[in-house]
Amino acid sequence: MVELISPPDPRTLLPPLLACLPTAFVSPRPPPALLPLLSPILRQRTQFLTSVSTSSSESWLRLLCWDTTKAERVQSIVDESTFEPHPVSGEIDMPDDIPIGYKRIDDETLQARLLLPEFHLTVIYLWCPDDEQGGGRGWRVAELLPREGPAEDDSSWMQSIGEANERAQEKLFADVMDDRRDDQATYNSSIQMNAAENEEEDDDDYWAQYDATPGSKTPAPRAGAASHQPSGLSEASYYSQYGNVQPAMDNHDPGEEQPEVGPSSLNGDMLANLLRRQVHDSVPASSLARTNGYAAGEEPGDAAARSLSHPRPASVSSSGTEAVAKLEQEAESQSSYEVGVKQHIGTSIKSLFRLAKATGMTRAEFQSMVRTELELLEVTDADE
């Protein structure tokens, strides 16, 4: 049910308030007629602070303004003003045209601003649907402000209650969209950061292979330009050391080459000679003319022999360690991605709920709609 709110009547609301303001200089406590005119929170503030105040110089008039600097200005304006009642009606004369503006703060807070250029004051009223101490539902004073001129006017105040409600809906929708953009930006930033970290770790693992290979480290220079080479060693000899560095990705390591076996006097080929004799007796001469499957004069060269050799695999322990490290890195990356996706889904649901609430949809309707979509998703998955 939509609550009907009547616009404030300046000729009814302002005269009682203005009549109470001059009494602030003759009494340290607000008059009883002022308290019902105030909003509940401003009424409690005024009653409590005046009851505990020990200084007689502090006026309760400053308590009607929440800003300390503006409160001093309000007191100065009231000191310089004269609120004379009409000789016939006994009430303070009010201008014929008093500008009124409206602002919707949230679903439960509606404010109205009344401008009094003649008195250099601005009164902010709050709509109170339930105020027993103030006499029931109606407009109550939320704050008393000084008015210096039109430059202080705020464009957020609308000319009607309907325009104020529409402006609040538009602002709420804009805030929801801003929240979604911020959440999306945060999600994209986290994905990019994780990708950059994974790429940096891959680069570190790649370059670490050079340090892990024996003899592949570059000689470290000593401090100072004069100490780049050892004493008694020429510059050309020093830099020639870099030619002996073994690259990490080069399978050919001169240090692993075995020296050729020289001649021996131990007759180690005695068994081979015996077998050769037996074969010579049982195999035709044409077959004996072939060496290792090749005919005489067709022995393979060094290039052919090297083409038949196979590279030796790395050690099992090092390969297993690298595989386990790679799997742990992929699992950590997958976990970070899952966390980012879950955060994105949660923020999207919250944004959709705030958007649905802004359009007037209740929480139960929103939950029912979400459950329906989930059930339809199950049916679609079953059909596929």
Q: Exposed, middle or buried by CB within 10 Å (0-12, 13-18, 19+), for 333?
A: middle
pLDDT at 103: 94
Alpha-carbon distances of 303 from 56, 135, 193, 306, rounded to whole Å:
111, 109, 50, 5
pTM of the model: 0.48
* Cα 257 → chain centroid: 58
pLDDT of residue 283: 52
* pLDDT of res. 244: 64
Cα distances (angstroms) measured from residue 237 to each of 30, 140, 218, 240, 279: 99, 96, 15, 5, 57
What pLDDT score was predicted for residue 102? 94
Q: What is the pLDDT of residue 100?
A: 93
Backbone angles phi, psi at 105, to 5 degrees: -80, -50
CA distance linking residue 365 with residue 169, whole number of Å: 19
Q: What is the pLDDT of residue 255?
A: 58
Enumerate residue ranges in the chain where pLDDT < 50.
1, 216, 222-228, 231, 261-266, 268, 271, 287-289, 291-294, 304-305, 307-310, 313-316
Please enumerate in sequence order all residues whose Cβ is within 8 A of that of 300, keeping only pairs 6 or more positions apart, or say none.
Answer: 294
Neighbours of 350 (CB within 10 A): 14
- DSSP secondary-structure letter at 109? E
- C-alpha 366/C-alpha 352 separation (Å) is 9
- CB count within 10 Å of CB 42 equals 22
Amino acid found at 65: C
**Which two structure tokens, joined as six digits, stand for 43?**
């009424």
185-193 — which CB contacts under 8 Å span 24+ positions? 187/340, 187/343, 187/344, 190/336, 190/340, 191/337, 191/340
User: What is the pLDDT, as a whole number, of residue 56?
Assistant: 64
pLDDT at position 211: 62
The pLDDT score that the predictor gives to residue 24 is: 87
